[in-house]
Structure 1
């Protein structure tokens, strides 16, 4: 019994030789996991902000295009009418002014009173990793109606 107690005390004094290095591996593993989570969260936030920026460009282009109407005055009153050509011209002008790398996909007037604009852009993550692709195509569509209908 004495030898058994002596071995147990000796093992306790050495600090548990059976567990050498396991804390280091756990710390390293959790550190790598934490870095991966931070990179993915950073990329997700960047993607969200890029989509919001593209939505804002589409909204601005649709609003500008809706103001590109032709006013026709008749006996019944004034009527604002939009054509596809006018909508596209105004949308292109707005995108050229504020769009950055946004491109116009389509700009139409589905009912003669509304302007529907679709723009596209490409998002690139702030840090390219194996968890996040190099680039993603984004698209945003906005519709705006003329005020004089």
Structure 2
């Protein structure tokens, strides 16, 4: 959110080094998860939500950021569908939104402190959400 260009660059590097579209999707999702759960980005998320509640221009900017962050997921999900790995007939956009919501749910819990970052097992939290997406997307 703070620097979407650097996020996309890192996600791109993670994707390029993967042997399959599914591995690339997992790597991109993990990088997005790591980005959204970084301490500074959690704080930024709180501040931007306050401003977005008051200012339509900030709301639009947030929507633009979300689109930018989800675009690599959409492309990779479409590739996984074309490869026959993701079999759910939902659109790549809907599946991307679902994955994004699962990921952002952890960031939201960290922001509202229903999970304390110091105590959180972030790899396990990501893994559970990834497994939930796979269960849904391959059913």
* TM-score between the two structures when normalised by the length of structure 1: 0.31
- Which structure has the higher relative contact order (CA within 8 Å, separation 6+)? 2
Query: Which has the larger strand fraction?
Result: 1
* TM-score between the two structures when normalised by the length of structure 2: 0.32
Query: Which has the larger helix fraction?
Result: 2
